């Protein structure tokens, strides 16, 4: 399993449109996640989708599980300075015994200027 | 709501020394995970525990060991520290029977610096 994210940093002005690309390779039918890491904090789940064509959404962010393109791009229509953080795309395959072990991408830093 | 607690938040050690990190999961969570995040890197899975037994093992060096105690807290022990061990170490917890989609709850991390 692997996750590939666009490299950052992504620098935007406030109210700009955001897209952070994420593609994955996996066996089976994984669940897909976006986690966000604010400065000095741990990762927090932002949104998730568990099957093809599902759309996860939270705090104005959205991502659609596209099985045909193996993608889960993160979008937001109008970013705010407070959205500045590192965003991690992750996947989790159903386990064959054992626990779910999410695989993370490298993270994309977002910097939003006033 | 209670979150995952990690200690210490910051730790500075010399090469070849030993370090111990602690993690207190969210109450009633039965699974604990340890991740290592190097500078500019994605979090790498080290090891996990379910009901105090080792569950899965990732890229954990032989110099590292971990265990989960009867109160469900976990400790990551790192010996013969190397410069390359400098990283942010995250602990995460989950409740396995409801984690059928793999969502983890992370602590704020322990930053280890090896000089």
User: Under DSSP, is residue B98 helix (H, G, I), strand (E, B) or coil?
Assistant: helix
- Residue A29: the pLDDT is 80
How many residues belong to chain A?
114
- Residue B97: the pLDDT is 62
Give pLDDT tens digits for B7-23. 999 999 999 999 999 99
- Residue B49: the pLDDT is 92
Residue B97 with chain A: CB contacts under 8 Å = none
Q: Where are the alpha helices (DSSP H) in A36-97?
A: none
- Name the token pair of A24: 């994955």
- Residue A16: the pLDDT is 97
Interface of A with B (CB under 8 A): 3, 31, 33, 35, 40-45, 48, 50, 88, 92, 94, 98-107
Instruction: Tell which residue, A81, A86, A83, has the closest CA to residue A114.
Output: A81
User: Under DSSP, is residue A47 helix (H, G, I), strand (E, B) or coil?
Assistant: strand
Per mean pLDDT, which of A4-8, A34-38, B101-105 is the most reliable? Answer: A34-38
C-beta atoms of B101 and A48 within 8 A: yes
Option in A45, A94, A101 nearest B45 (CB): A101
Mean pLDDT of the residues in chain A: 91
The residue among B88 and A95 whose pLDDT is bigger is B88
Phi, psi for residue B40 in degrees, rounded to 5: 70, 15
Residue of A nearest to B6 (CA): A42
């Amino acid at each position: 399993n692997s996750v590939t994210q666009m490299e950052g940093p992504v620098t935007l002005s406030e109210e700009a449109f955001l897209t952070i690309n994420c593609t994955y390779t996996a066996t089976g039918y994984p669940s897909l996640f976006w986690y966000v890491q604010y400065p000095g904090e741990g990762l927090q789940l932002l949104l998730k989708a568990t099957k093809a064509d599902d759309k996860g959404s939270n705090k104005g962010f959205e991502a659609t599980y596209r099985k045909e393109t193996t993608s889960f791009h993160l979008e937001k229509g109008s970013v705010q300075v407070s959205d500045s953080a590192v965003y991690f795309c992750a996947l989790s395959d159903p386990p064959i015994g054992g626990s779910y072990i999410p695989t993370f991408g490298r993270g994309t830093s977002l910097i939003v200027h006033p | 709501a209670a979150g995952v607690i990690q200690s210490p938040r910051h730790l500075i050690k010399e090469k070849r020394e030993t370090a111990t990190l602690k993690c207190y999961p969210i109450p009633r969570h039965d699974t604990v995970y340890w991740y290592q995040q190097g500078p500019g890197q994605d979090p790498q899975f080290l090891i996990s525990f379910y009901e105090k037994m080792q569950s899965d093992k990732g890229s954990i060096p032989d110099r590292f060991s971990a265990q989960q105690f009867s109160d469900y807290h976990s400790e990551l022990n790192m010996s013969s520290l190397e410069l390359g061990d400098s990283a942010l170490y995250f602990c995460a917890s989950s409740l396995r029977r409801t984690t059928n989609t793999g969502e983890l709850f992370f602590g704020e991390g322990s930053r280890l610096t090896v000089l």
